[in-house]
Amino acid sequence: MKYTNFNKWLFIIIGGFIASIFSFTVLYYLLIPDLCYYHSHKMNFIMSLFFTAYPGSNGHPEPNLTNFIVSFLVGSLIGFVIFKKFSKN
């Protein structure tokens, strides 16, 4: 694949979106197998950093903005590494 700015940003953005979707679907259910557990228990610091449980969601944890930003940045980094590996100058 030829090295162009378009291809670079395409890999970065697609990687970010794939990681975010993975985080909001698969990883969410792996980390929180029982959503109702947090009705009677408090979330620890790491959990509360990436998830919020507010009355609108009946106390069930949901991914927040920090979760999206970190997931997107990690996915973007992975996309950039994949681009660098397969690009030819």
Write the pLDDT tens digit of every residue in 11-43: 999 999 999 999 999 999 999 989 889 888 889
* Cα torsion 6, 11, 12, 14: sign: positive
- For the chain, the structural domain boundaries read 5-86
Calculate mean pLDDT across residues 62-67.
94
Cα-based distances in Å from 73 to 1, 13, 19, 67, 83 = 23, 9, 9, 10, 15
**What is the pTM for the complete model shown?**
0.87
Region 48-74 average pLDDT: 92
Output the CA torsion 3→6→9→11 (10° steps).
-70
Find the mean pLDDT for residues 43-56.
90
